[in-house]
Amino acid sequence: MATPTDTLTLPYAADFHVHLRHGDMMRMVTPTLRSGGVNVAYVMPNLVPPIKTTEEALRYKAELEAIEPRVTYLMTLYLTPELTPEEIHKAAAAGIAGVKSYPRGVTTNSDAGVESYEIYYPVFEAMEACGMVLNLHGEVPSDADKGVCVLNAEEKFLPWLRTLHERFPRLRIVLEHATTKAAVDMVKSLGDTVGCTITAHHLCLVVDDWAGKPHSFCKPVAKYPYDRQALRDVVKEGHPRFFLGSDSAPHTRNTKECAQACAGVYTTPALVPYLAALFDELNCLDKLQGFACDFGRRFYGVQAGLDEGAMTLKRGNWEVPSVYAAATENGSLEVVPFKAGQKLGWQLQ
Amino acid sequence: MATPTDTLTLPYAADFHVHLRHGDMMRMVTPTLRSGGVNVAYVMPNLVPPIKTTEEALRYKAELEAIEPRVTYLMTLYLTPELTPEEIHKAAAAGIAGVKSYPRGVTTNSDAGVESYEIYYPVFEAMEACGMVLNLHGEVPSDADKGVCVLNAEEKFLPWLRTLHERFPRLRIVLEHATTKAAVDMVKSLGDTVGCTITAHHLCLVVDDWAGKPHSFCKPVAKYPYDRQALRDVVKEGHPRFFLGSDSAPHTRNTKECAQACAGVYTTPALVPYLAALFDELNCLDKLQGFACDFGRRFYGVQAGLDEGAMTLKRGNWEVPSVYAAATENGSLEVVPFKAGQKLGWQLQ
Domain residue extents for chain B: 7-348
Rounded to the nearest angstrom, the minimum Cα separation between A224 and chain B is 7
* pLDDT at B118 (0 to 100): 87
Confidence of residue B96 (pLDDT cuts 50, 70, 90): very high
pTM: 0.95
Rounded to the nearest angstrom, the minimum Cα separation between A295 and chain B is 29
Strands A324-328 vs B7-10: parallel, antiparallel or unpaired: unpaired
* pLDDT at A67 (0 to 100): 98
Q: Is the pLDDT of residue A1 over 60?
A: no
Q: Kindly provide the ipTM of the predicted complex, given to two decimals.
A: 0.94
Instruction: Round to whole Å and give the CA distance between B217 and A338.
Output: 21
* pLDDT at B2 (0 to 100): 43
Q: Is A135 left (phi over 0), alpha (psi -120 to 50) or beta?
A: beta
Using a CB-CB cut-off of 8 Å, the residues of chain A touching B152 are: 224
Confidence of residue A114 (pLDDT cuts 50, 70, 90): low
Using a CB-CB cut-off of 8 Å, the residues of chain B touching A228 are: 144
Query: Which residues make Cβ contacts (< 8 Å) with residue B6, sequence separation at least 6?
Result: B314, B315
Yes or no, beta carbons of B212 and A257 under 8 Å apart: no
Query: Which residues make Cβ contacts (< 8 Å) with residue A247, sequence separation at least 6?
Result: A17, A18, A19, A176, A177, A197, A199, A201, A218, A264, A265
Selected residue of B139, B145, B151 to mutate for chain A interface (largest A Cβ count, 10 A)? B151
Selected residue of A179, A208, A232 to mutate for chain B interface (largest B Cβ count, 10 A)? A208
Interval B199-219: pLDDT, tens: 999 999 999 999 999 999 999
Tell me which H or E stretch contains A126. Answer: helix A121-130
Active-site pick, A15, A17, A61, A201:
A17
Rounded to the nearest angstrom, the minimum Cα separation between A180 and chain B is 14
| CA A325 to centroid of chain Cα atoms | 22
A202 is catalytic: no
Averaged over B34-48, what is the pLDDT? Answer: 97
Confidence of residue B113 (pLDDT cuts 50, 70, 90): low
Instruction: Round to whole Å and give the CA distance between B268 and A1.
Output: 64
Yes or no, beta carbons of A259 and B206 under 8 Å apart: no
Average pLDDT, chain B: 95
What are the contacts of B77-82 at 24+ separation with CB within 8 A?
B77/B45, B77/B51, B77/B52, B77/B53, B78/B45, B78/B46, B78/B50, B78/B51, B78/B52, B78/B102, B78/B112, B79/B113, B79/B114, B79/B120, B79/B123, B80/B50, B80/B52, B80/B112, B80/B114, B81/B119, B82/B52
Give Cα separations from B298 to B94, B145, B294 (angstroms). Answer: 21, 42, 6
Averaged over B35-51, what is the pLDDT? Answer: 97
Which residue numbers of A have CB closer than 8 Å to B's CBs?
142, 144-145, 147-152, 206-208, 210-215, 217, 221, 224-226, 228, 256-263, 336, 340
* pLDDT at A2 (0 to 100): 42
* pLDDT at A116 (0 to 100): 75
Interval A8-64: pLDDT, tens: 999 999 999 999 999 999 999 999 999 999 999 999 999 999 999 999 999 999 999
The answer to whether the CB of B104 falls within 8 A of the CB of B115 is yes
Rounded to the nearest angstrom, the minimum Cα separation between B196 and chain A is 24
Yes or no, beta carbons of A262 and B144 under 8 Å apart: no
* pLDDT at A125 (0 to 100): 98
* pLDDT at A104 (0 to 100): 73
Sign of CA dihedral B206, B176, B69, B29: negative
Averaged over B252-271, what is the pLDDT? Answer: 98
Residue of B nearest to A336 (CA): B259
Average pLDDT, chain A: 95
Query: Which of A114-118, A126-130, B175-179 has the least mean pLDDT?
Result: A114-118
Rounded to the nearest angstrom, the minimum Cα separation between B309 and chain A is 38
Interval A125-162: pLDDT, tens: 999 999 999 999 999 999 999 999 999 999 999 999 99
Yes or no, beta carbons of A257 and B262 under 8 Å apart: no
Rounded to the nearest angstrom, the minimum Cα separation between B65 and chain A is 33
Using a CB-CB cut-off of 8 Å, the residues of chain A touching B156 are: none
Share of chain A above pLDDT 70, in %: 96
- Give, rounded to a whole angstrom, the gap between the first and last alpha carbons of chain B: 16
Averaged over A179-196, what is the pLDDT? Answer: 98
Q: Which CATH number fits domain B7-348: 3.40.630.30, 3.20.20.150, 3.30.450.20, 3.20.20.140?
A: 3.20.20.140
Averaged over A4-11, what is the pLDDT? Answer: 88
Yes or no, beta carbons of A340 and B150 under 8 Å apart: no
Count other Cβ atoms within 10 Å, centred on residue B62.
10
Q: Is the pLDDT of residue A111 over 70?
A: no
Averaged over B72-83, what is the pLDDT? Answer: 96
Q: Is the pLDDT of residue A99 over 60?
A: yes
Closest CA to A309 of A2, A61, A1, A34: A34
Averaged over B137-157, what is the pLDDT? Answer: 95
Averaged over B331-341, what is the pLDDT? Answer: 96
The answer to whether the CB of A339 falls within 8 A of the CB of A320 is yes
A145 is catalytic: no
Instruction: Round to whole Å and give the CA distance between A47 and A39.
Output: 21
Share of chain B above pLDDT 70, in %: 96
A89 is catalytic: no
Interval A198-243: pLDDT, tens: 999 999 999 999 999 999 999 999 999 999 999 999 999 999 999 9
Yes or no, beta carbons of A224 and B152 under 8 Å apart: yes
* pLDDT at B74 (0 to 100): 98
Q: Is the pLDDT of residue B182 over 80?
A: yes
Yes or no, beta carbons of B150 and A211 under 8 Å apart: yes
Query: Which of B116-125, B289-298, B334-343 has the least mean pLDDT?
Result: B116-125
The number of C-beta contacts closer than 8 angstroms across A and B is: 87
Using a CB-CB cut-off of 8 Å, the residues of chain B touching A215 are: 259
Longest alpha-carbon distance in chain A: 63
* pLDDT at B104 (0 to 100): 73
Closest CA to A157 of B323, A165, B227, B179: A165
- SS3 string of chain B? CCCHHHEEEECCEEEEEECCCCHHHHHHHCCHHHHCCEEEEEECCCCCCCCCCHHHHHHHHHHHHHHCCCCEEEEEEECCCCCCHHHHHHHHHCCCCEEEECECCCCCCCCCCECCCHHHHHHHHHHHHHCCEEEEECCCCCEHHHCECCCCHHHHHHHHHHHHHHHCCCCCEEEECCCCHHHHHHHHHCCCCEEEEECCCCCCCCHHHHCCCHHHCCCCCCCCHHHHHHHHHHHHCCCCCEEECCCECCCCHHHCCCCCCCCCECCHHHHHHHHHHHHHHCCCHHHHHHHHHHHHHHHHCCCCCCCCCCEEEEEEEEECCCCEEEEECCEEEEECCCCCCCEEEEEEC
A201 is catalytic: no
The beta-carbon neighbor of A215 closest among B148, B206, B259 is B259
Using a CB-CB cut-off of 8 Å, the residues of chain B touching A226 are: 147
Could you give the 3-state DSSP secondary structure of residue A155?
helix
Using CB atoms within 10 Å of the CB of residue A53, give its burial: 0 to 12 exposed, 13 to 18 middle, 19+ buried: middle
Query: Which residues make Cβ contacts (< 8 Å) with residue B123, sequence separation at least 6?
Result: B79, B83, B84, B85, B88, B99
The beta-carbon neighbor of A214 closest among B228, B259, B262 is B259
